[in-house]
């Protein structure tokens, strides 16, 4: 039996989906690691991106930081963190957070920095404070690009969260690392296929969120336009 047939039979076998080591449990573990990493990445990157984008200063710092973090090899970084902190959940989550920060930071900064200056000036003309301009005007208008950055980060983190199995944790990477160790390459393919499908499903959902955040008829929300704010200010 070729590895493709073996992988398919393993995935469609209901018995392989139950239990603490079944496919269902591995998917939930993988999603949990990814959720933690994406959340922490957003907590770190979004405030920095909002502030720098609002001030329209520090773009050189953002570009340098994003490029520096993107150049770090995740597996090598994970090995270093394991040597520094020991085994456990913290090293892989930190490695994934560092992977997720650049796209979130870049998307947030670009979204805020590229808000139409007419919109911002109209908001200030209404007497809004800088905090109100940021939270009521710039952030809502920057939301599509912010969500786009979050989408990119989520896709990268889900695809890379397999490294958690490298330090004896769970997730879909368990199939890849165990399969390689046992030379069961159909199991390796099972892990690769499941990670790909999971990443595509989550990416599709986030693509809908990005689409819904764009101002326009039929969308879930509408951001204030320059004309609307100018009318209120006059």
pLDDT digits (tens, 9 = 90+) for 71-86: 888 888 888 888 888 8
Domain 3-233 class?
mainly alpha
CA dist 234 and 173 (Å) reads 59
Query: In this structure, are residues 93 and 142 in contact, taking their beta carbons and an 8 Å threshold?
Result: no
Give residue limits of the domains in the chain.
Answer: 3-233
Nearest to 161 by CA among 92, 69, 77, 82: 92
Find out whether 172 and 163 touch, Cβ atoms under 8 Å.
no
- Can you give the pTM of this predicted structure? 0.85
Q: Minimal CA–CA distance to 99: which of 127, 76, 122?
A: 76
CB 103 within 8 A of CB 154: no
Quick check: helix, strand or coil at residue 61? helix
Q: Between 195 and 129, whose confidence is greater?
A: 195
Which one is predicted more confidently, 67 or 35?
35
- How far apart CA 4 and CA 59 sit, in angstroms, is 47
Cβ count within 10 A of residue 91: 24
CA-CA distance, 62 to 113, in Å (whole number)? 12
Please tell me the predicted confidence (pLDDT) of residue 124.
84
The per-residue pLDDT for range 147-156, each reduced to its tens digit, is: 999 999 999 9
Percent of the chain with pLDDT over 70: 91
């Amino acid at each position: 039996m070729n590895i493709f047939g073996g992988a398919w039979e393993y995935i469609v076998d209901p018995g392989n989906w139950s239990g603490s080591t079944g496919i269902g449990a591995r998917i939930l573990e993988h999603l949990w690691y990814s959720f933690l990493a994406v959340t922490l990445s957003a907590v770190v990157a979004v405030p920095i991106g909002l502030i720098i984008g609002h001030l329209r200063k520090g773009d050189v710092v953002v570009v340098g930081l994003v490029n520096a973090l993107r150049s770090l090899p995740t597996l090598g970084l994970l090995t270093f963190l394991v040597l520094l902190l020991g085994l456990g959940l913290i090293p892989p989550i930190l490695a994934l957070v560092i992977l997720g920060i650049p796209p979130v930071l870049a998307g947030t900064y670009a979204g805020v920095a590229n808000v139409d200056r007419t919109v911002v000036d109209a908001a200030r003309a209404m007497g809004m404070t800088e905090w109100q301009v940021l939270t009521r005007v710039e952030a809502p208008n920057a939301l599509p690009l912010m969500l786009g950055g979050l989408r990119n980060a989520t896709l990268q983190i889900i695809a890379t969260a397999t490294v958690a199995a490298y330090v004896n944790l769970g997730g879909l990477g368990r199939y890849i690392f165990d399969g390689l160790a046992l030379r069961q390459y159909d199991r390796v393919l099972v892990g690769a296929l499941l990670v790909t499908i999971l990443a595509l499903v989550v990416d599709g959902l986030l693509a809908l969120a990005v689409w819904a955040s764009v101002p326009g008829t039929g969308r879930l929300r509408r951001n204030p336009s320059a004309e609307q704010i100018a009318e209120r200010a006059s």
